[in-house]
Amino acid sequence: MMGFGFSIWVLLLLNLACCSRGFTPVDQFYVNCGSSSDAVVGNITFVADKSATKYLSTPQEILADSNLNSITRADDSPLFRTARIFNGPSKYTFPIRQGGRHWIRLHFYPFSYQNYDMKSASFSVFSQKTTLLSDFTPKDAIVREYSVNVEKGDLVITFSPSSNSIAYVNAIEVASVPDDLIADAAQLYSSSGQFTGLAAQSLQTVARLNMGGPFVSLVNDTLGRNWESDSSYLKQPNLATSKSNIPAVQYPNGGATVDTAPPTVYGTCTKMNSDSDPRSNFNVTWDIPVDPGFQYWVRMHFCDIVSVSPTDSVFDVYIDTYVVYRDLELSTKLYGKLATAFFADFVTPVLDRPNVSVSIGPSPRSPYPDAFLNGLEVMKIRNSKDSLAGTSVLPSFPKSKKKLGIIVGVSVGVPVALILVGILFFMHRRRKQQQLKLSKTWVPIWVNGGASHTMGSKYSTGTTVSVGSNQSYRIPFVAVQDATNNFDESWVIGVGGFGKVYKGELHDGTKVAVKRGNPRSQQGLAEFRTEIEMLSQFRHRHLVSLIGYCDEKNEMILVYEYMENGTVKSHLYGSDLPSLGWKERLEICIGAAKGLHYLHTGDAKPVIHRDVKSANILLDENLMAKVADFGLSKTGPDIDQTHVSTAVKGSFGYLDPEYFRRQQLTEKSDVYSFGVVLFEVLCARPVIDPSLPREKVNLAEWVMKCQKKGQLDQIIDANLVGKIKPDSLRKFGETAEKCLADYGVDRPSMGDVLWNLEYALQLQEAVIQNDPEENSTNAIGQLSPQVGEFNHVETTTSVAQFETSSVDDLSGVSMSRVFSQLVKSEGR
Ligand SMILES: *[C@@H]1O[C@H](CO)[C@@H](O)[C@H](O)[C@H]1NC(C)=O
Ligand SMILES: *[C@@H]1O[C@H](CO)[C@@H](O)[C@H](O)[C@H]1NC(C)=O
Ligand SMILES: *[C@@H]1O[C@H](CO)[C@@H](O)[C@H](O)[C@H]1NC(C)=O
Ligand SMILES: *[C@@H]1O[C@H](CO)[C@@H](O)[C@H](O)[C@H]1NC(C)=O
């Protein structure tokens, strides 16, 4: 027995040596749960349980051994022999070095161990805010595979027993997947348009089939996947036959690679059994059982190993009753090459039946009736309740000190992080840097507009088109019309310098904000492009995300995630919205500061937003702040060199006087504008209010006077009077004041601002007793202690004197156009 097993592994290893893997995962964790020894499967070593206890938090150590020495079934892996049993909520926390897509594979095999009845165990499993399994009872050996996107530090897998039950797992795999394996967009075949946002989705593998070939194990797959034979899924096996020519398989330049599927998959196919009858007219159909109520991602793999000449095969392809390809002629997509790998992705509507059916059938255009398919993958897409299974509820864990770092790393933003603020303060700097690094390592696939990584519609529609950067963001005009009820005026939620903003809903139910540009002007077009470029490069929880854009028919349309609670400005004044509390306001400022800090310290080149104002900071349904409107942003070398711009841009009342004077742009201009926002948040009044007495018209000017006289507390929002702790107010005031320093060099960096705001929040929240450092400003900041006398430049006067009919227009709208007029008129 041992000898036999040994020689199999040697064979497998030899096999491996001859075909090199295309991809090396940065993160890889393979755990042989419950076992005292390592187990090798393929060339993957699953480590003994004791090597993985550092990742595990569980109420009790229960290591179960089936004591099965012999493997009873051909496909039984050594991993099934032992298991970890959990008699309460338990979790594995794996530190992730590189954000992005990861496999999670969970191996289950129920056996009996002591008093634990694994066969009737029922439990739920969660990861990445997704319910992976809900009240699940494995009946036999089973491996569940998921593909999740890890944006932040740790990947946590939580096991939660149903009431009066236990949970268990026999083996766990977590490994990086190339981010471009699954394109962000795929064709929705039941309606026009695309399903976008796949890059961030959690998916579960439902079926992965090798048409016309045998089971392909992880040994023959560069990404450790298994491919099942398709024969048991064929509706009418007698109508089908198979063909194999693995050595012939080629990969195109751009498109499918060996990571998409190995030659062993592309080199075999199931085809119409039509060779003996030129009048054959039938479909070959596969039925894949699925759970109704979900959408599914379907990838078809084609490779023409059937035809003799490139124009031999023309056929139709269906999913359910929809035609997804009429007259598919692979050779036209592959420059006339035979035996070349090609794939196409589709997304189903929410299914109301328990099958996804895929059919292929002859086209009347074909010289001879034939049709073939080489591979098929079906993955379940997480539903709107963040579940891939039922509706189980993530258990809560008692907070233990030991795991503190981990909890915080994973769930910044949830209440637990707030509770810990006090303790965190001292760990602060390091954590901040870590977060920054992590959020930057997650590079969305469509970022790399260059040739090698361009995914675009080439992949999702299956047509070979020349793909520019950002292609997969493109949304058809009809889909935008659909989403906005044909630009229904009653759906308008805002009007800005750029055009109107509509509320909308995409086909898949995603709520969106649709910004439709005024007819093309040079100015607008430049801003449109900048915005797409910026937002497709930068992804951060405190930056509004771009869902797509449309430039058909001279349109300039941008589609963003919908921000339920509108602008920060609308919560401060000029509306009936309830007044925000001090803590809420601080958290909003902290969120916005994080977004700006991320931009300033961005990947390759820092980015200057150039239009920071309360109308450009938006709030989601949880009042989380996100920075928006990147139309004026600038990257790059400008920042290092002395940048002289011909047109000063930005919004009145927020403009950095130094930028205005010297036309030299630095990140510190954003810091100035953000300082104005801070005072706006504190005082809840417009930044320019011509209806007020002269000395109060300009908020920045006015608050600086009051701050100098130590009278800041007299001009704060009436709703906040008596609700801000004096220390918190002092810290906040000092921070904002420093942002408004006359010279950029005297202003703090966005990182320092962020740090000080978090401290202001801590001073508001925490009861710190007898902290000797609390009253010492020096202990907190390396901010330059003396802010130069604030000599407001003459230009501010002209701003204040500028005649305006509507105050709101002045401070709420991007004023670049008006501003250039002003500059001109002054010059006259
Ligand atoms: C398996 O082998 C390949 C090449 O021999 C290597 O690149 C890969 O990292 C190995 N995988 C594991 C999990 O060791
Ligand atoms: C796996 O790959 C090896 C080496 O290319 C090959 O000899 C073997 O037949 C493959 N196995 C299958 C099931 O295709
Ligand atoms: C193949 O299936 C499609 C979709 O169900 C159907 O419309 C078509 O008529 C079928 N073709 C044949 C030849 O049965
Ligand atoms: C689903 O597929 C199975 C297996 O082919 C088949 O027996 C069943 O009729 C199908 N159900 C539906 C609703 O199509």
Tell me if 369 CB under 6 Å of ligand 3.
no
Q: Are strands 56-57 and 240-244 parallel, antiparallel or unpaired?
A: unpaired
230 CA → ligand 3 middle, Å: 20
Q: Average pLDDT for residues 54-71, to the nearest whole number?
A: 82
262 CA → ligand 2 middle, Å: 10
Confidence band (pLDDT; 50, 70, 90) for 69? low
Confidence band (pLDDT; 50, 70, 90) for 676? very high
Tens digit of each residue's pLDDT (9 = 90 or more) over 681-700:
999 999 988 888 888 889 99
Atom index in ligand 1 nearest the CA of residue 30 equals 13
Tell me if 321 CB under 6 Å of ligand 3.
yes
Atom index in ligand 1 nearest the CA of residue 43 equals 1
Closest to 175 (Cα-Cα) out of 207, 134, 200, 145? 145
pLDDT, greater one: 85 or 366: 85
Phi, psi torsion values for 811, nearest 5 degrees: -95, -15
Burial class (CB within 10 angstroms; exposed 0-12, middle 13-18, buried 19+) of 489: exposed
Tell me if 359 CB under 6 Å of ligand 3.
yes
246 CA → ligand 2 middle, Å: 9
User: Does the pLDDT of residue 465 top 90, yes or no?
Assistant: no
Ligand 4, atom 6, lies closest to the CA of: 287
Q: Are 454-561 and 568-747+757-767 the same fold in CATH?
A: no
Tens digit of each residue's pLDDT (9 = 90 or more) over 360-385:
999 888 778 899 999 999 999 998 88
Tell me if 282 CB under 6 Å of ligand 3.
yes
- Predicted confidence at residue 644, as pLDDT, reads 40
CA–CA separation, 198 vs 445, rounded Å?
A: 10
Tens digit of each residue's pLDDT (9 = 90 or more) over 191-246:
878 898 898 899 999 999 999 999 998 888 999 899 999 999 999 999 999 999 99
- Kindly give, in sequence order, each residue whose CB lies less than 8 Å from that of residue 102, ignoring residues fewer than 6 positions away: 27, 96, 147, 148, 149, 150, 155, 174, 175, 176, 177
Confidence band (pLDDT; 50, 70, 90) for 298? very high
User: Does the pLDDT of residue 531 top 50, yes or no?
Assistant: yes
Confidence band (pLDDT; 50, 70, 90) for 541? confident
Confidence band (pLDDT; 50, 70, 90) for 410? very low
Domain 8-177 has CATH 2.60.120.430: yes
CA–CA separation, 586 vs 708, rounded Å?
A: 22
Ligand 1, atom 12, lies closest to the CA of: 44
Where do the DSSP E strands lie in 189-279? Answer: 194-195, 203-210, 228-229, 240-244, 268-272
650: left (phi over 0), alpha (psi -120 to 50) or beta: left
Tell me if 719 CB under 6 Å of ligand 3.
no
User: Does the pLDDT of residue 585 top 50, yes or no?
Assistant: yes
Q: Average pLDDT for residues 583-606, to the nearest whole number?
A: 87
Mutation probe of ligand 3 site: the residue of 317, 358, 359 with most atoms within 8 A of C-beta: 359
21 CA → ligand 1 middle, Å: 7
Ligand 3, atom 10, lies closest to the CA of: 283
Which of 104-108, 436-440, 576-580 tops mean pLDDT?
104-108
Task: Name the architecture of domain 185-381.
Answer: Sandwich (2.60)
pLDDT, greater one: 274 or 821: 274
- Ligand at shortest distance from the CA of 19: 2
List the chain domain ranges: 8-177, 185-381, 454-561, 568-747+757-767
CA–CA separation, 827 vs 825, rounded Å?
A: 5
**Contact at 8 Å (CB) between 526 and 497?**
no
Atom index in ligand 3 nearest the CA of residue 318 equals 4
Mean pLDDT for all residues in the chain: 77
- Predicted confidence at residue 16, as pLDDT, reads 35
Which of 96-110, 544-558, 604-618, 626-640 tops mean pLDDT?
96-110
Ligand 1, atom 14, lies closest to the CA of: 44
Tell me if 44 CB under 6 Å of ligand 1.
yes
283 CA → ligand 3 middle, Å: 6
pLDDT, greater one: 736 or 309: 736
CA–CA separation, 384 vs 121, rounded Å?
A: 28
- Predicted confidence at residue 718, as pLDDT, reads 92
287 CA → ligand 4 middle, Å: 6
143 CA → ligand 1 middle, Å: 21
220 CA → ligand 2 middle, Å: 6
Q: Average pLDDT for residues 67-78, to the nearest whole number?
A: 61
CA–CA separation, 568 vs 592, rounded Å?
A: 10
Confidence band (pLDDT; 50, 70, 90) for 603? low
User: Does the pLDDT of residue 414 top 90, yes or no?
Assistant: no
User: Does the pLDDT of residue 588 top 90, yes or no?
Assistant: yes
Tens digit of each residue's pLDDT (9 = 90 or more) over 322-369:
999 988 888 777 767 889 999 999 999 999 999 999 999 998 887 788
User: Does the pLDDT of residue 457 top 60, yes or no?
Assistant: no
User: Does the pLDDT of residue 257 top 90, yes or no?
Assistant: yes
pLDDT, greater one: 632 or 107: 107
Q: Provide, rounded to the nearest whole percent, the portion of the chain with pLDDT above 90.
A: 41
Eight-state DSSP code of residue 639: G
Domain spanning 568-747+757-767, CATH class: mainly alpha
Atom index in ligand 3 nearest the CA of residue 316 equals 1
Ligand 3, atom 13, lies closest to the CA of: 282
User: Does the pLDDT of residue 774 top 60, yes or no?
Assistant: no
- Predicted confidence at residue 41, as pLDDT, reads 87
CA–CA separation, 111 vs 80, rounded Å?
A: 9
- CATH (one of 3.40.1550.20, 1.10.10.10, 1.20.200.10, 3.30.200.20) for 454-561: 3.30.200.20
Phi, psi torsion values for 687, nearest 5 degrees: -70, -25
9 CA → ligand 2 middle, Å: 14
- State yes or no: 515 annotated in a binding site: yes
- Ligand at shortest distance from the CA of 322: 3
Which residue(s) pair with 57 in the sheet? 91
Tens digit of each residue's pLDDT (9 = 90 or more) over 112-148:
888 888 989 999 999 988 999 999 999 888 999 999 9
- Predicted confidence at residue 12, as pLDDT, reads 36
- Kindly give, in sequence order, each residue whose CB lies less than 8 Å from that of residue 384, ignoring residues fewer than 6 positions away: 509
Q: Hey, what are 487's tokens? A: 């630009």
Tell me if 806 CB under 6 Å of ligand 1.
no
Range with the poorest average pLDDT among 52-66, 632-646, 680-694, 794-808: 794-808
Mutation probe of ligand 3 site: the residue of 235, 273, 283, 363 with most atoms within 8 A of C-beta: 283
Eight-state DSSP code of residue 808: H
Q: Average pLDDT for residues 268-290, to the nearest whole number?
A: 92
Catalytic residue numbers read: 611
Tell me if 309 CB under 6 Å of ligand 3.
no
Eight-state DSSP code of residue 703: H
Tell me if 197 CB under 6 Å of ligand 2.
no
Confidence band (pLDDT; 50, 70, 90) for 529? confident
Confidence band (pLDDT; 50, 70, 90) for 471? low
Q: Hey, what are 233's tokens? A: 């899924």
- Predicted confidence at residue 821, as pLDDT, reads 28
Which residue(s) pair with 688 in the sheet? 698
Q: Average pLDDT for residues 162-167, to the nearest whole number?
A: 92
Confidence band (pLDDT; 50, 70, 90) for 152? low
Ligand 4, atom 4, lies closest to the CA of: 287
Pocket of ligand 4 (CB under 6 A): 235, 287, 353-355
User: Does the pLDDT of residue 795 top 50, yes or no?
Assistant: no
Atom index in ligand 1 nearest the CA of residue 16 equals 5
Buried-state track 34-49, b at ≥16 Cβ within 10 A, e below 16: bbeeebebbeeebebb
Which residue(s) pair with 299 in the sheet? 345, 377
Buried-state track 681-705, b at ≥16 Cβ within 10 A, e below 16: bbbbbbbbbeeeeeebbbbbbbbbe
CA–CA separation, 29 vs 93, rounded Å?
A: 11
Tens digit of each residue's pLDDT (9 = 90 or more) over 716-772:
999 999 999 999 999 999 999 999 998 899 999 998 999 899 999 988 987 644 444
- Predicted confidence at residue 811, as pLDDT, reads 33
Mutation probe of ligand 4 site: the residue of 283, 287, 359 with most atoms within 8 A of C-beta: 287
Eight-state DSSP code of residue 775: T
CA–CA separation, 776 vs 663, rounded Å?
A: 37
Atom index in ligand 3 nearest the CA of residue 322 equals 4
- Predicted confidence at residue 635, as pLDDT, reads 57
